[in-house]
Amino acid sequence: MSNPELRKRLLLMAVFLVLLFGSLFGFDLFKKVQMGKAFAAYQPPAVTVTAVPVETGEIPRTLEAIGSIQAIQQVQLAAEVDGRITALRFKPGSSVLAGQPLLQLNDAPEQGDLQRLRAQAKLARINLDRSQQLLKLAVSQSELDAQQATLAEVEGEIARTEALIAQKLIRAPFAGQIGVQSVHLGQYVQRGETLLTLTDLKSLYLNFTLPEQQHSQVHVGQTVEFVVDALPQQKFTAKVIAIEPQIGMDSRAIKVQAQLENQKNLLAPGMFARAALQLPAEKNVVSIPETAVDYSIHGDSVYVLKKQKAAQGEQWIATRALVRTDGRTGDRVIVRSGVRAGDRVVTAGQLRLHDGAVVQIVSNDTLNVDRQRGRVE
């Protein structure tokens, strides 16, 4: 093959290769351009959420606290002297009146002494009366004085014996309810030994503590609402009657005491209570549902929805906004900054959201159905 023919074939081959690789490169470039256009034109499906407008209004303010119920009058009745129980005049759990006899210790020796002393006192009075009549005739003043002293001494012994007898009869110091029985007839008890308990359930204390930072917000006469575990669906009310003037050195807390009436005996001393001290209501406060707030170490935030024009019309766009919260009232969170009245915030469906996400607002019922079908996270 001559050189000119070889060169011609090589040239044709080179042109063919250039056209081939050019076509491949052009096709690849065309594909990338078209894919870029497709991605640019791609609109992800709208995220289904529920949303509500931010509200302003009057918000009741409270200070939350943990406390316990205490009886205003409660006592453990104990024996003042040693002795054997000779009578039980109460029933366990019964209500008694103030001054009612409850328990009798053996006082037979003291009763015998009292009878003897009263006889001595009677004789001493007779002798004293006779001496006073014979004072000017046959009795000296010194003898009269001695007889007066004898009578006074006997009367003193009588008073002492009567006091000993009274110590052996245990009476109710106030009206209330007897506790469980722990002593028995014939049992020998010693001085200081607890015999029974007596509690007045009609009026009770609610004791609770608050942080020292809230000292200026607590005043005598404020209302306290509280619930107890035994009756979680029922609210009770008490009035603050005392505030401990000293702040606890260890806890840095304020001790507060409130009083309440317990006419139906629904509450009992020792019950655990969750209390809320009522503060004056605050007006024009911005609040949002608690479910709208995302709490994190970087700060609290919400998703705010804004309308934006698009090729297919207006659409809702989600934007994350940092907010400064200031406690709760019921199921709503008070917000001091970050959102304004009229803003629309997402209350459910936030897990799939991000800044700039397109959303579709639905009702709570619709979202619940979608969640059951697995369409909403």
Q: What topology is assigned to 47-58+283-372 in CATH?
A: 2.40.420
Looking at the structure, give the CATH architecture of the domain made up of residues 63-70+201-282. Beta Barrel (2.40)
Decide if 94 contacts 102 (C-beta within 8 A).
Answer: no
Helices (H), the chain: 3-41, 108-133, 141-167, 364-372
> Which has the minimum average pLDDT: 124-128, 165-169, 285-289?
124-128
CA distance 257 to 216: 16
What pLDDT is attached to residue 365?
52
Domain boundary assignment for the chain: 47-58+283-372, 63-70+201-282, 80-105+170-192, 107-167
Encoding tokens for residue 189?
A: 């008890």
Looking at the structure, give the CATH architecture of the domain made up of residues 80-105+170-192. Beta Barrel (2.40)
**What's the residue count for the chain?**
377
> pLDDT per residue over 243-258, tens digit each?
999 988 888 899 999 9
DSSP string, 212-252: GGGGGG--TT-EEEEEETTEEEEEEEEEEEEE-SS--TTT-
Q: What is the mean pLDDT of residues 20-38?
A: 66
What is the three-class DSSP state of 124?
helix
CA distance 29 to 23: 10
- Torsion-angle region of residue 270: left (phi > 0), alpha (psi -120 to 50) or beta? left
What is the pLDDT of the chain when averaged over all its residues?
A: 85
What pLDDT is attached to residue 135?
62
Share of the chain above pLDDT 90, in %: 44
Identify any residues that bridge with 52 across adjacent strands, giving them in sequence order: 345
CA distance 307 to 321: 16
Q: What is the mean pLDDT of residues 22-32?
A: 69
CA distance 24 to 200: 99
**Which residue type sits at 172?**
A
What pLDDT is attached to residue 48?
87
Q: What is the mean pLDDT of residues 80-109?
A: 93
Identify any residues that bridge with 209 across adjacent strands, giving them in sequence order: 255
Question: Does residue 377 have a pLDDT over 50?
Answer: no
Identify any residues that bridge with 169 across adjacent strands, giving them in sequence order: 104
Encoding tokens for residue 105?
A: 């210790």
> pLDDT per residue over 110-133, tens digit each?
889 889 999 988 888 888 787 777
CA distance 179 to 230: 20
CA distance 290 to 331: 6
Question: Does residue 369 have a pLDDT over 50?
Answer: no
